[in-house]
Structure 1
Amino acid sequence: MKTKKVVINKLSRGEIYGAMRLMKLGALLPLVRNQLENNLEYADLSFEDRIGTILYEAREQFLWRQLERVYRNGSHAKPVGAVKEEIIYSPERNLNCEVIKTLQSMDWVKGQRPYYVTICGQSGTGKSYLTEVLIREALEQNVNLCYYDFSKFMRLTEGLSSEEEFDRLADRLNRKDLIIIEDIGLFRCTEGVIKMLFRLLDKRLGSGALLFTSQYQVEDWYEYFAGELGDNGIADAMMERLKNNSQSIELKGPSLRVNRVAI
């Protein structure tokens, strides 16, 4: 059997950097340069470990840029760098570790029958932190998603008047595998927002995932969905679609912002 000849490196260090730029591998360039120029630090590592170190750092940087873009497009807030390893599962928090692991798997988004998730709890109980963990997991698994805080979601519906305009916006949003809307109930709900929320709850039933967060328990959303006109019909329809197709998480305990601990 003919032995395959080992190719000896014929590139200088500068040519290596140039080749990476040529092949649009610029994101890896600082990491490769660090290993080449600090050779003693990495000398005892295997080739696999060295490549793994480079790709791990590159992946983390890539995911962070994606996360920042998601928040920039849909929120006034910035990601805090939430990590799943630092979630606290103390009994007072009412947070089930197995439920969170299931959500991190993204089966509720990518499975045969996607469903909705609600995360409720008073201010400071960790809703946004947990949401960021799930967004990062979704990005890592290449889930096509969009994220809005409630004020920016409300702006999507401003200026819409005809049913066709609402349908077009709903169709555009429904191209996403996952839609996240934070702080349901934080502001007075307009008729346009109610129309859009109903379309999302209705059209995504069994075919697309939604994640809502709120300071209010899901049971209290009925009056909110009924709106100023007291439309119990649409409130009934929205609550029925939500309750029968969702995983509910109700966070409890004192505010975790006091000492800025992991949440």
Structure 2
Amino acid sequence: MEKRTMAQTKASLTGVGFKHVIPVLSELINAAEEQKLSYREFLNLLIENELTARNEKHRRRNLSGAHFPPNPRTLDEFDTRELESGITSTQLYQLKDLNWIDAHVNILFLGPPGVGKSMLAIGLGLEAVNAGYSVCFERMASLVDIIDTARVSRASNFRLKRIRKADLIIIDEIGFTPIKKDQANSFFNLVSEMYEKTSIIFTTNKEIGQWAEVMGDPILTTALLDRILHHSKCFSLRGESYRIKHPQEELQKL
């Protein structure tokens, strides 16, 4: 058999789709020689490194595409003892298994400002990204603007397409700003399109019975909630605002 150069070997690996392992190929060969690995063991080592690199690239791409706010915090940083009620550590642990995403179950976090609704939603989003799911985060005000401008804005159209393809959508801060009737209709159409196909996490400072005030149409709101709540888990968080209880920590972020 004709002896191959390292450049030829790398070119062949790239040709069969093993391009991610190229930067560490020399190190892997040296490790295989030092450990006296069999051909099969070396092949497995090569495959494992290629898959690990691919998964990490996929994770970074999904993390960038999620559009999380700066410096998102993980679920491990959330302390359920800060709340008076609403979610237990056991329930939080169960949510981390992410089986509800495969079952297209929606999650609702309700409660006043400062109790950790957005942190929980984003933390679950990070868990999903790390597990290989595609995630999109949008505040409600931004989402309705994206829907409004998708026909005339290339950026909004691209974002809306990504949202429609996501495994998990996080819609933050429903109820902070009322929306127009045509925007409510467009939002309803999007949720209907996602129904039983995608999981959605909602955070809101409004009780379910108050959503009609936000949407401006009781009939449409009833139809919307019928789809959202059909397969859902609801957590009504109660407690004092974390920012008020820990003002020094908030000042340190400034």
Whether the TM-score (by the shorter chain) exceeds 0.5 is yes
The answer for the alignment partner of 2:156 in structure 1 is none
* Residue type of the alignment partner of 1:190: K
3-state SS, counterpart of residue 95 of structure 1: coil
Distance 1:194 1:51, change over 3 A: same
Q: Which residue is 2:55 aligned to?
A: 59
| Alpha-carbon distance in 2 for matches of 1:258, 1:220 | 34
CA contact (8 A) 2:78 2:120 kept: no
Question: Equivalents in 2 of 1:81, 1:14: separation in Å?
Answer: 42
Q: Normalising by the residue count of structure 2, what TM-score does the alignment of the two structures yield?
A: 0.65
**C-alpha distance in structure 2 between counterparts of 1:258 and 1:26, whole Å:** 48
SS at match of 1:187: coil
Q: Gaps (5+ residues) in structure 2?
A: 152-159
Equivalent in the alignment of 1:237: 223
Q: 1:157–1:192: 8 Å Cα contact kept in structure 2?
A: no
After superposition, what is the alpha-carbon deviation per residue over 1:145-189, rounded to whole angstroms, capped at 9, x for unaligned?
54423233112332699xxxxxxxx99966654332222123331
Deviation at 1:88, TM superposition (A): 3.0
Return the alpha-carbon distance in structure 1 between the equivalents of residues 73 and 15 of structure 2.
35
Q: CA deviation at 1:100?
A: 3.0
What is aligned with 2:91?
A: 99
- Secondary structure of residue in 2 paired with 1:247: strand
| 1:90 corresponding residue in structure 2 | 80
Matches within 5 A, 1:181-196: 181-196=171-186
Secondary structure of 1:138's counterpart equals helix
Equivalent pair of 1:116/1:209 in contact (CA under 8 Å): yes
| Alpha-carbon distance between aligned partners in 1 of 2:164 and 2:20, rounded to the nearest angstrom | 32
Q: Distance in 2 between matches of 1:243 and 1:250?
A: 14
Deviation at residue 210 of structure 1 after TM alignment? 1.9
Which one-letter code corresponds to 2:145 in the other structure?
R
Cα deviation, 1:6-42, whole Å, max 9, x if unaligned, reads: xxxx6655555444444443433345556668x6xx9
Secondary structure of the structure 2 residue equivalent to 1:118: strand
**Is 1:27 aligned to 2:20, yes or no?**
yes
> Does the Cα contact within 8 Å between 1:177 and 1:208 map onto a contact in 2?
yes
- What amino acid is the match of 1:63? R
The question of whether the paired residues in 1 share the 8 Å contact of 2:195 and 2:227 is answered with: yes
Task: Name the counterpart of 1:3.
Answer: none
Q: Which moved more, 1:236-245 or 1:176-185?
A: 236-245
